[in-house]
DNA sequence: GCGTAGCACAACCAAACAGTTGTGCAATGG
DNA sequence: CCATTGCACAACTGTTTGGTTGTGCTACGC
């Protein structure tokens, strides 16, 4: 259940589109911030709005995108609505990206170092 | 060198922007296809163009984006230019995305199954 | 040199998208 | 009931961006 077949290669077109679409969902700073905030636990739209300092409509809109991608879950709770992380895998992705960024910085440092040494 | 500090939380704004920017680079099907093709080894613009069935200018443009993100490397080789994967980490990312997609499909199947059983 | 092949750059167009404004709607408290 | 709170939907706007077209530039073969 947790181990999968290797990813096909070359990637079939429909899969390519799905992958790109997934990345696109994560390509907005506000959505990253929302996910990062939800890492502390579920929250209402109002709470997220205050945490990010954005308009209520904008927050709702981005939450809608995340919900469509099934990255968050939506639960009506009285007069309020609580959003929560539905796919913790997104954090793994972010960590890998951060790792990649650090790698690039390290390489840049190395290049600059040799540059100076030379 | 290969193990890093944990990712800070909450994510500082500049880092959020970097992460989102990185994801944005990967949010285009054509760029995913280019990376997938380069997985077989380095290639010239013309080769990539023929492999993807796209225009030369468009391929060059997307390669430029990938190059700016340091995901590919560019090497002049005679009258031709060879592009190659510079950051193999992108494939890890793609695999994680694929894994997430499969998880979602599995869950969907499970839901449908209980739906039928009920 | 001269024509050609390989590639990148700039200008343009159309589509997608983020953000705001305005509004509708459901649930709660008085 | 009625006003208020919490949220989502729709329309609009400015910006971004993917793709095309046109062009310049560099390296090679003749």
DSSP B67-105: HHTTSEEEEEETTEEEEEES-THHHHHHHHHHHHHHHHH
Q: Cβ of A47 under 8 Å from any chain B Cβ?
A: no
Q: What is the pLDDT of residue A92?
A: 95
All structural domains of chain B with their residue ranges: 7-86, 88-118
pLDDT-derived band at A4 (thresholds 50, 70, 90) equals low
- Residue identified by tokens 């796209």 is B54
Task: Classify A10-86 by CATH class.
Answer: mainly alpha
Residue B54 has pLDDT above 60, yes or no: yes
Q: What is the pLDDT of residue B4?
A: 63
Q: Are B77 and B87 in contact (CB under 8 A)?
A: no
Closest residue to A16, CB basis, from B11, B22, B29? B29
Q: How many CA atoms lie within 13 A of B52 on its CB side?
A: 28
Tokens of B80: 């031709």
Of A65, A63, A23, A25, nearest to A44 (Cα)?
A: A63
- What's the average model confidence in pLDDT over B79-94? 96
More confident residue, B118 or A67: A67
- What's the average model confidence in pLDDT over A66-83? 96
- What's the average model confidence in pLDDT over A67-93? 96
pLDDT-derived band at A22 (thresholds 50, 70, 90) equals very high
Distance B23 CA to D6 C1' (A): 32
Q: From chain B, pick out residues whose CB is under 8 angstroms from the CB of A67.
A: none
pLDDT averaged over every residue in chain A: 93
Q: Cβ of A109 under 8 Å from any chain B Cβ?
A: no
Contact state of B13 with A29 under an 8 Å Cβ cutoff:
yes
Contact state of B32 with A13 under an 8 Å Cβ cutoff:
no
pLDDT-derived band at B95 (thresholds 50, 70, 90) equals very high
Residue B3 has pLDDT above 80, yes or no: no
pLDDT-derived band at A111 (thresholds 50, 70, 90) equals confident
Alpha-carbon span B38 to A43, nearest angstrom: 42
- Rounded to two decimals, the ipTM of the complex is 0.92
Q: From chain A, pick out residues whose CB is under 8 angstroms from the CB of B10.
A: 33, 36-37
Determine the topology of domain B7-86 in CATH.
Arc Repressor Mutant, subunit A (1.10.10)
Q: What is the pLDDT of residue B30?
A: 98
**Side-by-side strand order, sheet with B72-77:** B43-44, B80-85, B72-77
């Amino acid at each position: 259940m947790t181990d999968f077949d290797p990813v096909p290669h070359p990637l079939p077109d429909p899969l390519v589109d799905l992958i790109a679409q997934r990345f696109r969902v994560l390509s907005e700073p506000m959505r990253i911030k929302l996910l990062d905030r939800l890492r502390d636990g579920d929250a209402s739209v109002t709470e997220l709005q205050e945490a990010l300092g954005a308009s209520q409509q904008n927050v709702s809109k981005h939450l809608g995108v995340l919900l469509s991608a099934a990255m968050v879950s939506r639960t009506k709770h009285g007069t309020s609505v609580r959003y929560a992380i539905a796919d913790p895998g997104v954090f793994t992705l972010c960590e890998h990206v951060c790792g990649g960024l650090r790698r690039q910085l390290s390489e840049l440092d190395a290049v600059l170092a040799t540059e100076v040494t030379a």
